[in-house]
Amino acid sequence: MQIFVVGMPCSGNLGDDMISVLLADHIFKRWPKAKLGILCGEYQNQFAYPNSDAIQLFRSPRKRSYESFFVRSKRIFDYISSSDLVLIGGGGLFQDSHSFFTVHRWLHHVLGSKARTVPVSAVGVGFGPLNHKFSNWYLSKALARLSSIQVRDAASEKLVNALGYSAYVAPDIVSGSSLDGTPFARQTMELAQTARIGCSLRPWPGMSFTAVVNLVSSVCREKDASAALFVFEETEPSPQSELSFAEKIQEGLRKQKTNSSIYCYGKIPLEDFSAAFGGVTHAIASRFHANILWQKMGVPVLPLAYAPKVKSIYDEAGGATVALPDIDSISAPTFQTIDINDLYNLPPDHLLFEQTSGGIRELAAMSKITNVAAGVYEIFGSIALRMRRFAEPWT
């Protein structure tokens, strides 16, 4: 049994790295003798893969040299062609918040592959937001290549249905998996000796920097606590650097006489990051997986819903969230704990291995055309990024 997984581990993001490792664990529990190929980025996954001898990592093609693009692409297509199954997921892959070519980034590996009879299934994925007409049109065609679609929430199911397909709802892979054996296992955590407010805050349009600093500072004063700022994602320098955002927040807190410390995933040992993460008394979180991990640890959270996926966690559990525009109007912050007891499972075999119906040639042609358009878009986007790299939208 040979399986290829399309996802985004090794991209400098804690949540995506954790998803990949937990998904691999589910795969090996289903198929103990499987050989597993995993698409990955340029960074190191700080989590340890199970059964690592049976895993081969494939770096995602990058348009920087012949080797990094053409050689990598061929290796991936060759592995897919000899595979018995391709899984796409988990995580929020099918959205266009960053680019309307994002959905193509994950699907083109199977649309353009010569392995037209290899079953392809999405597992534990999120759909949306889809803000561009192109994304909706593209997915309405491309999803025909998939044997089955497993989504992580009801809102994603609704989007898939609107695109003309059916989906099976399951928990997010991290939410529905045991943390035993990971550095975030509850029993490995030490209780905080003094009051500390954990904060996982990513820069996002509509999030007022001043309002965030005032909120964190007021909570720390109320609870006589210090702040611990946790950075879940730090990659190449960009206008949306989460670490730079945390450093700005720390500077703002210092001006308000609030002590704080920063813990950045990938910059310090994972054991140190997770120990500090679990050693807080309360938390303020916008990041999706920060909310999930703190809730699974039993830490009361004030959730800031920067995206529908965060709101969905609490809606389904009868909880409440704060929308970004409402941060500055919070008078009495309400911290809450919710039960996250769902169990994640891969779809049944008969769903994973359904034969894909026609239209493969048309999808391959669509993929090639989109590849060219995406390449041009990336070139101009790279130029624009370099022009804006010193801009800081949160100020």
Tell me the Cα Rg of the chain. 21
Give pLDDT, residue 240: 64
Q: Residues in the chain, how many? A: 395
346-366 average pLDDT score? 82
CATH topology for 186-329 is: Rossmann fold (3.40.50)
Largest pairwise CA distance in the chain: 64
Burial of 286 (0-12, 13-18, 19+ CB in 10 A): buried
* 3-class secondary structure per residue, 243-308: HHHHHHHHHHHHHCCCCEEEEEECCECHHHHHHHHHCCCEEEECCHHHHHHHHHHCCCEEEEECCH
C-alpha dist (Å) from residue 94 to 105, 110, 253, 263, 269: 9, 15, 36, 29, 31
Q: What is the DSSP string of 186-216?
A: GGGPPPPSS-EEEEE----TT--HHHHHHHH
The structure's pTM equals 0.91
- Identify the H or E element spanning 222: helix 209-222
Whether residue 161 is predicted with pLDDT greater than 90 in this model: the reply is yes
Please indicate whether residue 66 or residue 226 has the higher confidence score (pLDDT): 226
CB 15 within 8 A of CB 287: yes
* Start and end residues for every CATH 3.40.50.11930 domain found in the chain: 2-176+345-388
Per-residue model confidence as pLDDT tens digits over 294-307 = 999 999 999 999 98
User: pLDDT for 181-208, tens place per residue?
Assistant: 899 986 555 556 679 999 999 999 889 9
- The Cα 331–Cα 333 span in angstroms is 6
At the top level of CATH, which class does the domain 2-176+345-388 belong to?
A: alpha beta
Residue 13, number of CB atoms within 10 A of its CB? 24
Best CA proximity match to 151, nearest among 136, 168, 163: 168
